[in-house]
Amino acid sequence: EPEVTQTPSHQVTQMGQEVILRCVPISNHLYFYWYRQILGQKVEFLVSFYNNEISEKSEIFDDQFSVERPDGSNFTLKIRSTKLEDSAMYFCASSPLIGQVGETQYFGPGTRLLVL
């Protein structure tokens, strides 16, 4: 069964450094998402992406964040200058249909980011 994959599974970085989190969505999916889960808290929406542009973003997704689909398979989240509070689990998700309300989103296994 196709699945969303994410690399790396764990990343440790120094405050102020740039990190790039990578995701490979399910191949025929069209909508891509990033979510964040700070330890012990709920999962929060960051951004959705369709047709090579941001479709919606939350207030968390400020100027230090960016997303890109550099080729036909990868979907990346870049954090330009990491802060301690960026430490979290970052989930990528994808869904097959174009902006369908309630279309199931399939999640990757997550990248655990630790900022020191």
Partner 1 sequence: AQTVTQSQPEMSVQEAETVTLSCTYDTSESDYYLFWYKQPPSRQMILVIRQEAYKQQNATENRFSVNFQKAAKSFSLKISDSQLGDAAMYFCAWAGNEKLTFGTGTRLTIIP
31 is an interface residue for partner 1 by CB under 8 A: yes
107 is an interface residue for partner 1 by CB under 8 A: yes
Closest CB to partner 1 among residues 69, 107? 107
The one-letter amino acid at 53: E
Show the beta-strand stretches assigned E in 26-101: 31-37, 43-50, 53-57, 65-68, 75-79, 88-95
Residue from 8, 56, 73, 81 in contact with partner 1 (CB under 8 A): 56
Secondary element (H or E) of residue 111: strand 111-115
CB of 74 vs partner 1, minimal distance in Å? 20
Give the end-to-end CA distance of the chain in Å, rounded to a whole number: 37
41 is an interface residue for partner 1 by CB under 8 A: yes
Considering only CA atoms, give the Rg of the chain: 13
Residues that bind partner 1 (CB under 8 A): 31, 33, 35, 37, 41-45, 48, 55-56, 58, 89, 91, 93, 99, 101-110, 112
